[in-house]
Structure 1
Amino acid sequence: MPTPPVPEPADKPAEGSNRVRAFAKYSGIAFQMLGIIGGFTWLGMWLDERYQSENPWFTVGLMLVGVFLAMFQIIRSLTKE
């Protein structure tokens, strides 16, 4: 009687799934960055309109805060691994 074939271990992921997982992770990080910077920029524009400021200081300031927060979030998520 022939021996049945031995299945490969289930804990070894396929090469293609690692690429898809990495692509999803890094594209998710890009969308987080876009959302953070865009949200802070929108808030700054709204504050500039609300207080009728001559110069867009709220927009510039909050955009920079958004960039720094987005960079902090990216560094934190990449070093978490």
Structure 2
Amino acid sequence: MATNPLPPRDTDPTPSTDRLRSFTKYSGIAFQMLATIGLSAWAGTWLDRHFQTKNPWWTIGLMLFGVLAALYQVIRGLTKGD
């Protein structure tokens, strides 16, 4: 009767791998938020300069849109089960 000298493989990821996966997921969400809000603020300032507005309405409007879009992305990313 032959026996296998190797221990059985553990298919569950180690706790350090889980922590690393969580860290990359949440840091990716943070960078995505930063990029969304930053690009919308940049676009708003560009539009304000292009149309030569007295008040920064484009900047304010697009920044609010960017914040709402970033929050939507965060909620969608956190509720998605993967």
Fold match (TM-score > 0.5): yes
TM-score by length of 1: 0.91
Aligned residues: 80
Counterpart of 2:8 in structure 1 is 7
- Segments of 5+ residues of structure 2 without an aligned counterpart are none
Report the identity percentage: 53
- Segments of 5+ residues of structure 1 without an aligned counterpart are none
Secondary structure of the corresponding residue to residue 54 of structure 1: coil
Give 1:49-68 correspondences, 5 Å limit.
49-68=49-68
- Structure 1 consecutive aligned stretches of length 4 or more whose deviation exceeds 6 Å: none
Give 1:1-81 correspondences, 5 Å limit.
3=3, 4-9=5-10, 11-81=11-81
Q: Deviations over 1:3-43 (max 9, x none)?
A: 4142332x210110100000000000000000000000000
CA RMSD of aligned residues (A): 1.5
Question: 1 CA distance for matches of 2:65 and 2:71?
Answer: 10
